[in-house]
Amino acid sequence: MPVPHTDSASGNSMPATSSPTPQKTPARTQTSPLHAIALLFERQPGLASVLCLLLVCVLTFSLCAPSFLSVTNLLTILRQNAAAFISATAMTLVITTGGIDLSIGAVAAFSGITMAVLATFWHLPPAFALAGALLAGTVAGTANGLLITRVGMAPFIVTLATMSVFRGLSLLIAQGYSLPLPENAPLLEWPGRGWIGPVPVPALIMLACVAAGSITLHRTRFGRYITGIGSNQEGVRRTGVNVRRISLTVYALSGLAAALSGILMTGRLGSASSNIGVGFELDVIAAVVLGGTSLTGGYGTVIGSALGILTLACLKNGLILAHVSPFLTQIFTGLITIGAIWINMSLKGRDLFGIRKNGDDN
């Protein structure tokens, strides 16, 4: 209780007011850059390791080849690898469900051949030829999804077989030749060669696809279903989710992305060839796994896949500018990819810096 005291001026007794006890405010913890890097390695080792590898490549090749960091060269890297970025985005969704799609390179070639045939031989307007190519890729991806979800075949076997089928269809239609695009249809080449101001159109399309894929996987219910199917398919099915429809949609999106990739590659070359995309699927899958997506499903990151594509693209481009033999380029790319993926697997789940032990990751 407050103790009364006497005012010396008036002689009246007044209750003394007790001053409020100041409350201690919790001190705000300052996160140092090294601590932030340690947190990134602990929580997302795949993303952190591929980012470090990318920085090492950029620093190394900027010293070995001064033209590596030029704006022209960087835009060339984005323009030449835009198709890989797009397919890697869709492949991230496929692998996150626990599946795989080996047919994207063949579907890209088949879609390009379809576009050339519709525009050159059927004389359809360019917009209809583009729509036909996208439809062809979507149908191809849907066929893969139906065989996997309805028939119950393994994704590896299905897409390996359809890779041969669509590559053979491309060879049969083109008879082994390249089909040039019509000269009076610049719209067909614009996705692969066009520019909007100083930025190439393929780079803008790539950025839009990567952003859409990242939002879909990490910010939507559909993306949560994709992750759940990869980690516990039966558990997701028991909650009332139509697992077959989700998986079918993912493979249809993969076919659509492959078709868009084929349109970009065909437009950049100015002709459709049945040899487009040979080995394309292997580079995409390697980049996706390099970026931290689990090959067994249950976890995926579109940003990590994009960084994986960018890392491999910078590696190949830098070795060429450094005048390294193209044969050694393939060897270095394979060895570095294996090493980076091995590091990802080694770091995953380990408390490297004692962060979990100290409870600082909350």
The 10s digit of each residue's pLDDT in 46-66 is: 777 888 889 999 999 999 888
Residue 106: closest CA among 137, 85, 84, 132: 137
Instruction: Tell me which of 9 and 206 has the higher pLDDT.
Output: 206
Residue 84: closest CA among 111, 104, 102: 104
Other Cβ atoms within 10 Å of 229 Cβ, number: 24
Q: Map tokens 């079918």 to a residue.
A: 248
The chain-wide mean pLDDT, for the chain, equals 86
DSSP letter for each residue of 310-344:
HHHHHHHHHHHHTT--HHHHHHHHHHHHHHHHHHH
Q: How far apart are the first and last CA of the chain?
A: 42
The 10s digit of each residue's pLDDT in 106-139 is: 999 999 999 999 999 999 999 999 999 999 999 9
The 10s digit of each residue's pLDDT in 199-239 is: 999 999 999 999 999 999 999 999 999 999 999 999 999 99
DSSP tag of 203: H
Residue 168's alpha-carbon distances to 69, 162, 178, 268, in angstroms, are: 40, 9, 14, 23
Residue 205: closest CA among 214, 216, 194: 194
Q: What residue type is assigned to position 171 of the chain?
A: L
Q: Model's pTM, two decimal places?
A: 0.84
- The per-residue pLDDT for 184 is 86
DSSP tag of 220: S
- The per-residue pLDDT for 10 is 47
The 10s digit of each residue's pLDDT in 268-280 is: 999 999 999 998 9
Instruction: Tell me which of 329 and 139 has the higher pLDDT.
Output: 139
What is the distance between the alpha carbons of residues 62 and 67, in angstroms, rounded to a whole number?
7
The 10s digit of each residue's pLDDT in 16-41 is: 444 555 555 444 445 566 565 555 55
Residue 179 forms beta bridges with which residues?
Answer: 272
Cβ atoms of 130 and 188 within 8 Å: the answer is yes
Tokens of 53: 């590898």
Name all contacts of 64-72 with Cβ < 8 Å and 24+ positions apart.
64/318, 64/321, 64/322, 65/318, 65/321, 65/322, 67/321, 68/317, 68/318, 68/321
Q: Quick check: helix, strand or coil at residue 196?
A: strand
Residue 100: closest CA among 108, 92, 110: 92
Cβ atoms of 90 and 147 within 8 Å: the answer is no
Instruction: Tell me which of 327 and 135 has the higher pLDDT.
Output: 135
Q: How confident is the model at residue 328 (pLDDT cuts 50, 70, 90)?
A: confident
Q: At what angle do helices 201-219 and 82-96 cross, to 10 degrees?
A: 10
Q: How many residues does the chain have?
A: 362
Q: How confident is the model at residue 337 (pLDDT cuts 50, 70, 90)?
A: confident
DSSP letter for each residue of 5-73:
EE-TTT--EEEPPPPPPPPPPPPPPPPPHHHHHHHHHHH-HHHHHHHHHHHHHHHHHHHH-GGGGSHHH
